[in-house]
Amino acid sequence: MDVIDIIKTRREPAKLTDPVPSDDLLSAAFTAAATAPDHKMLRPWRFMKIAGEARKDFGELMAKSLKARMPDADAGAIEREKTKALRAPLIVVATATIKPGAPEVEQLLAAGAAVQNFTLALHGSGFGSFWRTGEAAYDPIVKQGLGLAPEDHIVGFLYVGTVGAMGPEKKRQTAPEIVSTWTAAR
């Protein structure tokens, strides 16, 4: 598959199962992530893997965050928050640490580009992933629980595994829908 086909055929799976990519493939995908465009070469991105039993601990952290944000959350909502950590055999937390030398927005976009490279590398290798954020990504309890500094950004929770079921095909925009041509006023 060429790169255009990899990009055009990437979709979010409805279900992810074992096996996860091998350590060698994950290393290659993280290396691909690190080739993202990066103004001033600040490399703001970092990735943290959560697998196996650690996913249950991560689910507990997510539930703790929900309880703090929504003290009236019922038991069902708290349980759903815990089980989010079990929707894939591997979770990769993508983060950005903003450094002096370039605007914050440029560094966040660079981290987003790194995530896209990572997900495309996985897709091109036959694995699936989906990218989530939500309120937990911005919660200081989650950041602290993951060992991040308060000023660090969680760019996303990337759920990774073998595609068990593919999600629905979404209508994609075409070039005429998103591209215009600017001409100078004369």
56 in a structural domain: no
Read off the pLDDT of residues 35-62 as tens digits, 9 standing for 90 and up: 999 989 999 999 999 999 999 999 999 9
39 in a structural domain: yes
Structure tokens, 177: 């829908």
Per-residue pLDDT averaged across 143-160, rounded? Answer: 98
Average pLDDT over the chain reads 96
95 in a structural domain: yes
The number of domains in the chain is 1
174 in a structural domain: no
Give the pLDDT of residue 154: 98
- CATH number of the CATH domain containing 16: 3.40.109.10
26 in a structural domain: yes
Read off the pLDDT of residues 92-139 as tens digits, 9 standing for 90 and up: 999 999 999 899 999 999 999 999 999 999 999 999 999 999 999 999
107 in a structural domain: yes
Pairing of strands 90-96, 13-17: unpaired
Residue ranges making up the domain that contains 42: 11-50+88-162
35 in a structural domain: yes
- Identify the weakest region by mean pLDDT among 44-53, 64-73, 84-93, 166-175: 166-175
What's the pLDDT band for 185 if we cut at 50, 70, 90? confident
175 in a structural domain: no
Buried b / exposed e over 61-99, threshold 16 CB at 10 Å, is bbbbbbeeeeeeeeeeebeebbebbebbbbbbbbbbbbe
Among 91, 117, 93, 92, residue whose Cα is nearest residue 38: 117
